[in-house]
Chains A and B, each alone.
Chain A
Amino acid sequence: MDPLEMQDDSKKSNKPKYSKFTQQELPACKPLLTPSIVISTFLLVGILFVPIGLASLSASQEIVELVHRYDTSCVPLADKVGFIQDTKTDKSCTRTLTVPKHMKSPIQIYYQIGDFYQNHRRYVKSRSDKQLRYKDAVHLTKDCEPEVYGADGAPIVPCGLVAWSLFNDTYTISVNKKAIEVNKKDIAWQSDKNKKFGSDVYPRNFQNGNLIGGAKLNESIPLSEHENLIVWMRTAALSTFRKLYGRIETDIMENDQLTVVIQNNYNTYSFGGSKALVLSTTSWIGGKNNFIGVAYLTVGGFCLFLALFFVVLYMIKPRTLGDPSFLSWNRCTLDYPN
C-alpha cells in the first residue's frame, strides 16, 4: 500500500476540540425590552426617585444661607480700580445683615467670588506641588511661571500665580453688637495639611515684588499652618466658587443683627468679578443646593408619567410581540421609503 495513504490513516483527527466557549454556546440570558419590563422599570425608578428628591429638597431647604454681595457697595462709584489698588486708604466697610432664620452651629463662613477663572490653564498650572511639600524643593519652580523669583532673585515660596493671588479680604463679625469668634482652624482638608503642604516649609520672598497679588503670609509659620492658603490652592473648577473662610461655633437666632466689618482688599474690579460673603449651616447633603432635589423630583415624575403613558399606549394600540407578519420581507415592498 502507498506509504502516504498509510500515514493518512494513522493521522489524528483534526476535529476542533469542543467546548462551549469555542462553539459560542455559552449559556446566555437575553432580556428584551418587553412592555412589562420597561413599564415596571420606569415605575420603579419613579417610585424610588420621588422620595429621594423630596428628602434632598427638604434637606436643602432646611439649610439657612445668608448671601451678601458686597463688592459694589464697599467701593466708591467713581474709580473702583484706583481705590482698590491704593494701598494707603482704609478699605474697611461695615455691613449689617438680619438673620432670617435660626442658624445652628457650626455655621460656615464662605467667601464667594464670581467671574474669577481659577480654572484657567495659565493659572491652574502655575504652582509647584513639590515646593509646597518639601523643604529641599525650593528650586523646583519650573511650572510657576510667571511668578518665580522675588526681588532678590531667589525663588519665591510658595511660587506661582495661584499662591500669589491669595484672597485677602477679611471679615470681623459681631452678633447684636457682640463680637463673636470666627474659627479659622480646620478649614482645610486634613490630608492637604499632612501630605501636601510641608510643616517645615516656610514662606520666603512672598509678595515682595513690584506687583502685590493678594494676601501676605507670615514667614515664621510653616505652609501647613496657612490654612487659608491651603483652601485657596484647591483650585475651583468653575468661575464662580465659594471657599471656606472660617466657622462660627455658636448658634445665631432668628432676626439677630449681624454686623460684618469687611476689609475690602481683594481686587475683583479690574475684571468685573463679584464678591460675596456667605454664612450657611450644613446638612447631610452639603451646602444649600436645590438642584439634586428638583432634578430627582422631575426625573421621578417623568418616569411615572412615561410608565403611565406606555400603559395607556399599550392599551390603545396593543401589539403582539414577535408577529412575523411585521417582518419586512413579509410585508409588501411599499414599506420602504424611496
Chain B
Amino acid sequence: MKRFVYINDDSCRYSYCDNRISNTKYSLWNFLPKNLWEQFRRFMNQYFLLIACLQLWSRITPVSPATTWGPLIIIFIVSASKEAWDDYNRYLSDKKANERKIWLVKDGIHRQIKAQEIHVGDVVWLHENDEIPCDLVLIGTSDPQGICYVETAALDGETDLKTRIIPTISANLSVEQLGKVKGVVECPNPDNDIRRFDANMRLFLPIIDNEKCPLTINNTLLQSCYLRYTEWACGVAVYTGNETKSGMSRGAAEPKLTAADAIIDKLTIAIFMFQIVVVLVLGYFGNAWKYTQGLKQWYLMYPVEGEAPWYDFSIIPLRFELLCSIMIPISIKVTLDLAKGVYAKFIDWDEQMFDWETNTPAHSANTAISEDLGHVEYILSDKTGTLTENKMILKRCCISGTLYGNDNGDALNDVRLVNAISSNDPDVIKFLLVMALCNTVVPIKSNDDTVSYKAQSQDEEALVNAAANLNMMLISKDSSTAEICFNGSKFRYELLDILEFTSDRKRMSVVVKEGQTGKILLLSKGADEALLPLACPGQQIQKYLEAVEMYSQLGLRTLCLGWHDLKESEYKEWSKNFQEASCSLDNREFKIAEVCHSLERDLHILGFTAIEDCLQDGVPETIKLLRNAGINVWMLTGDKQNTAIQIGLLCNLITSEPNSQLLSISGKTEEDILRSLERALLIMKNTSETKDLAFVLDGWALEVILKHSKESFTRLAMLSKTAICCRMTPLQKAQLVAILKSAGYLTLAIGDGGNDVRMIQEANIGVGISGREGLQAARAADYSIGKFKFLKRLILIHGRYSYNRTAFISQYSFYKSLLICFIQILFAFLSGLSGTSLFNSISLMAYNVFYTSLPVMTIIFDKDISETTVMQYPQILLHSQAGRLLNPTTFCGWFGCSLYHALVIFFITICAYSDEKSEMQELSMVALSGCIWLQAFVVTMDTNSFTYPQILLIWGNFVAFYMINLILSAIPSLQLYTIMFHLCSQPSYWISMALTVAVGMGPVVAFRYFKNLYQPSAINILQQIEQSNGSIQTSGNLESARANLLNLLTGSRKNRDSYYHPLLSDSAESARTD
C-alpha cells in the first residue's frame, strides 16, 4: 500500500484529507446518542434504565418513578457534562491549532493560509521556532549544508535536538527553485511509527531527474515538533490532519479496572442474583396470598374476572423487583469516581513527592486506579535512570591493555593517561578519536565560544565530554564533516556514513575520511559481546575480558571501542550496497543491518571505557522498605549481568552470599538453559523461606525459556521474590510483566526511558520517572514521579489509604442500600405481600442522594494508622495485598450487619408504634430516622481518625436530615405534612431512637472490642501502639521485634490466600494456590 504525493500539483490535491486536526470524540450532533450509548454499555446503568422504565408502568411501581429517574438523570448529566467539557476543551485546542497561520509557497509566491487548509502535496515554509503543522518531507533549509534542527519533545518526549537533513536530490535547489519545484513522493500509507519513514522521491522540475532518492525519517519534519536554530526550512506535506504520524499514534487508552473494582463488580452481580431470588420468592408467596387471602378481603375489591394469567402472575414479582431495585446502590459509581478523583488529587498535591532537583511534582494521569497501588505484589523496575541517576561520567578506561584510573578512580586525572596523550601514543589518540567521533552528538556553540553537547544517549555525552577533557574536543559537526580540536590544532574529518545503533546490533559505527591524509576509517563502539567477536584474530582478548569483568564488578557500564581502516575500493563497493539497502521499501532495517555487518569486521580493539552511573538518592532504603512490605522487586535491565548484579547488591535488591543465593539460569545451549531452569526451580522449592533466593537470567535465556518451558518459568517467577533480568529488550520486559500478570499477580512497572514504555503500558500500574531520558515513559505511565524513592510513599501511603477508603465506601454503599431494602422486604410480610413501599418517594430518593452519600465521603480523610507508623511497619501492606478489607467475607459481615440493623429498626418501630400509633406516614418516618441514626453511628464506628470535615459532615448530615424533614413537614400538599412535628414532640419517638441505636450498635461495639483486645488484627495493634506511646520509638521489646521482621515476614506471604475463604468464585485466586 503506497501513497503517491505529487508536489504542488492541484489535480490530486483533494484525494487526501485536509490538515484539519480533530481530537474530539463527539460532534455536536452525535454527542447525545454516542454518549448515551457509551454510558449504557455498563451493566449497572442498563440495570437502572430497565428499573426506571419499569417504574413508568403505574400498576407495578411502588413509588414514584422519580426515585430512579432522578438519580439516573443526575448521574447521566454529571458524567455527560464531564465528557462534554473535556471534549469542548479538546475542540478549542484543535481549533487553535487549525487556525494557526502558516506560510505556503506556490509557483514562487509565498502566501499565508490557515493550518487546516494545507493539503497533501503543498510546500510549507517554516520559520525558526515554528510548530510543524503536518508531516513534511524536508526539501530545503537555510543551512548551506542542508540540515536543520528539530525538537521532538512533543512527539517522543526526548528533549535533545535532532538533526534533519534534506535529501540529496534537492540539495542544490535555490530558494527560487524551491518555490516552483514539482515531483512525486512515493511513501507508505499513514502509520503511527515515528521512527520509520521508508519512502522515495523523484523531482520533475526544475531538474528533470529520474533517479529515485531514498527518504528516511531523517528527511522528515513531523507534526507537533518545533523547528529550532534554523532560520527557515521548507517541506512537502505528505501526511495531513489526523493521518500524520503523531495523529495516528494518538489513541484512547484502554481503561484499567482495579482489583477492588473487579470485586465490587462481582459483589454487584452476587447481590443481583440475591435480589432475583428474593423477588421470585416474594412474588410466589405474594401470588399465593392473593389467591388464598386477598380475594376474601372485600375492601380490596379484586376484580372477579382476572386478566390473562401470565400477566396476573407477573405483576406481583415485578412490583417486588422494583421495590428491591434499591438493593444495588445507584450512587456507588458516582461516589467511587468522586473519591478516586480525590485520591489522585492527593497524589498530585503531595509535597513530599515533589522533586526539587527536576522541579517535578508527582502526577497521576490515571485517576481510576489508586487503590491498586495498595495491592502491588511485584515491582518490575528498570535500572538505568530509575534506580540510578543516569548521570554518566567516565571513571576508568583500559587502552590496549593498560588500565587507567585504577588508582584514584578517575581516569580523567590519571597522570599516566595525560602523559600518554602528550606523548602522542597512537592507540590512545585513536581511542580518544573514537570517543569523540563515533556518536550522534550535536555540538552547540554558544556565543562565548564554549561548546556544549546535545546527545540522545547519556553514554555518548559522557564519552564526548571525557574526550574533550582529554584535549580531544569535538567543536563542530554537520551532516558531512566534523571538526576536532586536538592539542590546539584543528582536524577535519569527512563523515561518510553512520551505521546506526539498534538494540539488536548493540553497536554503532561511523565511516570517516581523514581530511589531510584521505584515509578512510571505520570507528566502532558497542557492547563487548557485540564487538569482541568481530575483532581481528591475534589480539590479546583475554586481558580485555579481565578488565571488563573487573569493571562490571564495580558496577560500571563498559563500552568496547575499536577501529579498522578501509581501502577506497572496498568502501566504494560497500557504499553502493548500503545505498541500495537504505532505499529498499520493505524490510529496510534488516537489510541495513546485514550490510553494516559486512563492514564491521576485523576490528582492532582499542580498549574499554567504564562509565559510572551513581545510584539515586534513597534507593536502597526504598527497596528494603518495599521488600519488607511484601512486595517482590525485580530488576529488568538492558545492561550486562555483572553490572546488574553489582547494582542489585548496592541497592539492597540482593544480599551477599551467606544470607542469599543467586541462581543463575544460563547455559551455552538451549538444553543447558532448560536444565538450569529446572535446577533453579528445585532449589527454590526446597529452600527454607528465610533464605533470600534470587535468579538471574539474560535475554537469550529468556527467549529460549519462553519458547520451550513457559510453565516452569511461571512457577519459578511465582516463587522468586527477587530476580535480575539483564540484556532485556523492551519486548522481553513487557513479556515478563505479562507472565506475572497472567499468573494473577498485580504488577507495577517503573521505568524512565522509551525502552520501558511497553512494559509500563503492559503492567497493571505503570509508573514513569520523569528523568533525563525524556518524558516518554512518564507520558505513557499512569503515575509519574521525580525519583524512585517516592515510590514507597506512592504505594505505602497513597495506595494503602486509597484501598482502605475504597473498601469502606463500596461496602458501606451496599450496606445502606441493603438496610433500607431489607426493611421494605420485612414490611412486605405485614402488608399482605402486595408490594407496598413503606417509605415515600421523597424519602427514598433523598436517602440515597443526601442522607447517606455525604457522610460516607468523609472517609476520604480517614487514616487508620499514621504515615510514620506505616513507614515503620511496612508489613502492614500485606493486609491490603491480600484484600483483607474488601472481599466476600468482609462483605458478608456488612451484609449481616445490614440485615441485623434492618431487623432492629423494623421490630422496634412496629412494637413501639403499634395499635393506635400505627399510622403509615409516622411509622415510615420512624423507620427512616432509625436508619439515619444507625448509619451515622456506623460511619462513626468505622472512622479511625476524626478531622473536623468528617465530624462536620457526619453530624451535619444528621442535623440536615431533621431540618429537611421538618421543612417538608410544613408543606401541606405533601404526604409528610406535619408528620415530623408530631414525631419530634413525642417522647416515645426519641426513646425509640435511643433504643434503636443501643440495640443496633451495642453488639457491634462489644464484638469489635472483644476482637480488638483478644484477637487483634495488625492494624488494631499498630493503632494501639500509636496510642499508647504517642510516637513509636521506645521499648526494647519493639526493637527486637523489628529485628525479626525480615525473617519472619516470609511466612505470612505464602499463606495470604488463606486470609479469607472465597465465597464467590474467584478462579484467579484459587488457581494460584495449587
Is A203 on the interface with B (CB-CB < 8 A)? no
- Interface 9-mer from A175-183, A219-227, A253-261, A294-302: A294-302
Of residues B299, B916, B948, B1006, which shows the largest number of chain A Cβ atoms within 10 Å of its Cβ? B299
Contact A213 B299 (CB under 8 A): yes
* Contact indicator B346/A244 (Cβ below 8 Å): no
Check A151 for interface membership: any CB of B closer than 8 A.
no
Q: Among A26, A30, A121, A191, which residue has the most Cβ atoms of chain B within 10 A?
A: A121
In the complex, A245 Cα to B1029 Cα: how many Å? Answer: 67
Cβ contacts under 8 Å, A32 to chain B: 1012, 1023-1024, 1027
Which of A241, A285, A291 is within 8 Å of B987, CB to CB? A285
Given the interface contacts A110-B916, A119-B836, A121-B836, does A324 sit within 8 Å of B830 by beta carbon?
no
Please give me the residue from chain A that is nearest to B1056 by CB atom: A336
List residues of A (181-202) whose CB comes within 8 Å of B's CBs: 189, 191, 195-196
B920 touches A234 (CB 8 A): yes
B678: Cβ under 8 A from any A Cβ: no
- Residue of B913, B1013, B1022, B1055 with most chain A CB atoms under a 10 A cut-off: B1013
- Are the C-beta atoms of B1005 and A33 separated by less than 8 Å? yes
Among residues 897 to 941 in chain B, which have CB atoms less than 8 Å away from a CB atom of chain A? 908, 910-924
Whole-angstrom distance between the Cβ of A82 and the nearest chain B Cβ:
14
Instruction: Indicate if A88 sits at the interface (CB-CB under 8 A).
Output: no
Contact (A243, B916) CB under 8 Å given A30-B946, A292-B988: yes
Chain A proximity of B1025: nearest CB distance (Å): 4
B1049–chain A nearest beta-carbon distance, Å: 5
Residues of A within 8 A of B988 (CB): 285-286, 289, 292
Taking the closest CB of chain A, its distance from the CB of B1057, in whole angstroms, is: 9
B residues near A324, Cβ cutoff 8 Å? 1021, 1025, 1037-1038, 1041
B62 beta carbon closer than 8 Å to chain A: yes
What total of chain A residues lie within 8 Å of the partner, measured CB to CB? 102
Q: DSSP class of B's interface residues: helix, strand, loop or mixed?
A: helix
- Give the residue name and chain of the B residue nearest to A239 (CB): B830
Which residue among B361, B827, B1052 has the maximum number of chain A CB atoms within 10 Å of its CB?
A: B1052
Would you give the shortest CB distance from B1008 to chain A, in whole angstroms? 6
Assess whether B299 is in contact with A165, with CB atoms less than 8 Å apart. Answer: yes
Which single member of B301, B912, B1027, B1054 contacts A30 (CB below 8 Å)? B1027
Q: Which of B397-405, B717-725, B992-1000 contacts A (4 or more CB under 8 A)?
A: B992-1000
Q: Which residues of A contact B831 (CB under 8 A)?
A: 117, 119-121, 239
Given A33-B1008, A292-B912, A302-B1002, verify A333-B1055 contact (CB < 8 Å). Answer: yes
Bound CA–CA A30/B1008 (angstroms): 16
Residue B85 is within 8 A (CB to CB) of chain A in the complex = no
Query: Do A333 and B946 have beta carbons less than 8 Å apart?
Result: no
- Pair A238/B918 contact, Cβ less than 8 Å: yes
In the complex the two chains form, is B1045's CB within 8 Å of A146's CB?
no
Which B residues lie within 8 Å of A291 (CB)?
Answer: 911-912, 914
In the complex, B1018 has a CB within 8 A of chain A: yes
B359 to A14, Cβ gap below 8 A? yes
| Interface residue from A16, A122, A242, A321 paired with B300 (Cβ < 8 Å) | A122
Are B998 and A49 neighbours in the complex by a CB distance under 8 Å? yes
Q: Indicate which residue in A165, A292, A323 contacts B992 across the interface (CB closer than 8 Å).
A: A292
Q: Within A1-18, which residues are at the interface with B (CB < 8 Å)?
A: 1-2, 4, 11, 13-18
Contact B1045 A330 (CB under 8 A): yes
Judge if A78 is at the interface, Cβ distance under 8 Å: no
Residues of A within 8 A of B1038 (CB): 324
Q: Across the interface, which residues of A come within 8 angstroms of B1037, CB to CB?
A: 323-325
Contact B354 A120 (CB under 8 A): no
- Contact in complex: B834, A122 (CB < 8 Å): yes
A287 on interface, CB distance cutoff 8 Å: yes
B443 within 8 Å of A (CB atoms): no
Chain A 312-338: CB-based contact to B (< 8 A → 1; otherwise 0): 001001010111111111111100111
B830 touches A119 (CB 8 A): yes
Which chain B positions have C-beta within 8 A of A73? none
Name which residue of chain B comes closest to A35, CB basis.
B1013
Q: With CB as the reference atom, state the residue of chain A lying closest to B922.
A: A237
A310 at the interface (CB under 8 A from B): yes
CB-CB under 8 A from A117, the residues of chain B are 297, 300, 831-832, 834
A119 touches B1048 (CB 8 A): no
Write out the residue numbers on chain B whose beta carbons fall within 8 Å of the beta carbon of A330.
Answer: 1041, 1044-1045, 1048
* A155 CA to B1049 CA, complexed, in Å: 80
Q: How far is the CB of B990 from chain A (nearest CB, A)?
A: 10
**In the complex, what distance in Å separates the CA atom of A331 from the CA atom of B948?**
38
A317 surroundings in chain B (CB, below 8 A): 1014
Measured between beta carbons, the chain A residues less than 8 angstroms from B300 are: 117, 120, 122-123, 161
Check A286/B1045 contact, CB under 8 A, given A49-B998, A270-B296.
no
Judging by beta carbons under 8 Å apart, are B1028 and A322 in contact? yes
Q: Does A89 contact B (CB under 8 A)?
A: no
CB neighbours of B1048 from chain A (8 A): 329-333
Is A295's CB under 8 angstroms from B908's CB? yes
Pairwise interchain contact A121-B319, C-beta atoms closer than 8 A: yes
On whether the beta carbons of A237 and B919 are closer than 8 Å, the reply is: yes
CA–CA, A56 to B1013, complex, Å?
Answer: 36
Q: Are B948 and A26 in contact (CB under 8 A)?
A: yes
Check B999–A16 contact: CB distance below 8 A.
no
Chain B positions within 8 Å of A23 at CB level: 349-352
Q: Which residues 266-319 in A have Cβ within 8 Å of B in the complex?
A: 267, 270-272, 284-287, 289, 291-292, 295-296, 299, 302-303, 306, 310, 314, 317, 319
List of B residues within 8 angstroms of A1 by Cβ: 446-447
B444 at interface (Cβ–Cβ under 8 A)?
yes
**Per a CB cutoff under 8 Å, which of A27, A41, A237 touches B838?**
A237
Is A112 in contact with chain B by the CB < 8 A criterion? yes
The residues of A that contact B1051 with a CB separation of less than 8 Å are 329, 332-333, 336
B314-357 CB mask vs A (1 if < 8 Å, else 0) is: 00000100000000000000000000000001101111101010
Interface string of B421-434 (1 = CB under 8 A from A): 00000000000000
Bound-complex Cα distance A129 to B977 (A): 12
B992 with A267: CB separation less than 8 A:
no
List the B side residues contacting A295 at CB < 8 Å: 908, 911, 995, 999
A272 to B349, CA, bound (A): 70
Q: Is B972 an interface residue (CB 8 A)?
A: yes
B863 CB contacts on chain A under 8 angstroms? 24, 28
Q: Provide the bound-state CA to CA distance between A330 and B1046, in Å.
A: 9
List the A side residues contacting B350 at CB < 8 Å. Answer: 16, 22-23
Q: Compute how far the CA of A120 lies from the CA of B995 in the bound complex, rounded to whole angstroms.
A: 29
When chains A and B are docked, how far (Å) is the Cα of A38 from the Cα of B1008?
10
| A236: Cβ under 8 A from any B Cβ | yes
Residue of chain A at shortest CB distance from B1024: A322
In the complex, are the beta carbons of B986 and A321 less than 8 A apart? no
Contact residues in A for B301 (Cβ distance below 8 Å)? 122, 146-147, 161, 211
Judge whether A333 and B1054 touch: CB under 8 Å.
yes
* Contact, CB under 8 Å: A323 / B1021: yes
A32 to B1061, CA, bound (A): 28
A328 touches B836 (CB 8 A): no
**Distance (Å) between the CB of A292 and the closest chain B CB?**
6
* Given A49-B998, A244-B916, A322-B1023, 11 extra CB contacts under 8 A: A16-B350, A17-B349, A23-B350, A24-B346, A26-B861, A28-B945, A42-B1006, A237-B838, A241-B915, A319-B1014, A327-B1041
Q: Taking beta carbons and an 8 Å cutoff, which residues of B are in contact with A? A: 62, 151, 293-294, 296-303, 319, 345-346, 348-352, 354, 356, 359-361, 444, 446-447, 452, 801, 827, 830-832, 834-836, 838, 861, 863, 873, 875, 878, 908, 910-924, 944-949, 972, 975, 977-978, 982, 986-988, 991-992, 994-995, 998-999, 1002, 1005-1006, 1008-1009, 1012-1014, 1016, 1018, 1021-1029, 1037-1038, 1041, 1044-1045, 1048-1049, 1051-1052, 1054-1055, 1058-1059
What would be 10 A-B contacts, judged by CB atoms less than 8 Å apart?
A14-B359, A18-B351, A28-B947, A30-B1023, A38-B1006, A42-B1006, A121-B834, A238-B918, A322-B1022, A324-B1041
Q: Which 9 A/B pairs are nearest by Cβ-Cβ distance?
A: A333-B1051, A322-B1024, A28-B945, A322-B1025, A22-B349, A165-B299, A195-B972, A26-B947, A237-B923
